[in-house]
A = this chain, B = another copy of it.
Amino acid sequence: MKPGLRHETEDCRAVSDILGRVGDKWTVLVVGFLSSGPMRFSELRRSIGGISQKMLTTTLRGLERDGFVTRTVFPSIPPRVDYELTDLGHELRVPVNALGEWARLNMARVKQARERFDNAPSEQSTPVARTAARQATR
């Protein structure tokens, strides 16, 4: 995302920026789990399940940097670190949840489209047939 987009508008870069954070592999999961309250590192790790501790650290650092979560260290032994959504993080969940809800409602349509595409006779159809197929999806 470094080069290439130099001449984009401010808006586009802001969107790409946020989407870059939100669209990465784990961020949404982490934010989702944090939405119900603060959690400590290993708690998150166990809840999410498939994440490596390196990726969890990286994801949380990114979220902290962007102001979406806070990181609170308790100087106890053993050490304990709590992560919690900031107000900004909670606000972010609104549009993200909207997108999530959309995804939930429309995943069947996407799945259907994928199956149709994957079983397609690999470009044996005429352009007219293609167009007809397009109409059918409307």
Interface residues of A (CB under 8 A from B): 1, 3-8, 10-12, 14-20, 22-25, 28-29, 32, 49-51, 64-68, 70-75, 84, 86-88, 91-92, 94-96, 98-104, 106-107, 109-110, 112-114, 116-118, 126-127, 130-131, 133-134, 137-138
Contacts and interface: CB of A to CB of B under 8 A. Distances in A.
Stoichiometry, as copies per complex, reads 2
Contacts of A23: 19-20, 22-24
Contact of A73 (B4, B112, B130, B137): B130
A114 B66 contact: yes
B100 A98 contact: no
B67 A114 contact: yes
State the 6 A-B residue pairs at the shortest beta-carbon distance, nearest first.
A23-B23, A4-B50, A67-B113, A18-B103, A15-B100, A70-B134
B86 A137 contact: yes
- SS of A interface (majority): helix
A5 B49 contact: yes
Contacts of A94: 102
Contact of A17 (B5, B66, B91, B110): B110
A94 B71 CA distance: 33
Contacts of A106: 18, 88, 91-92
A127 B73 contact: yes
Nearest to A76: B127
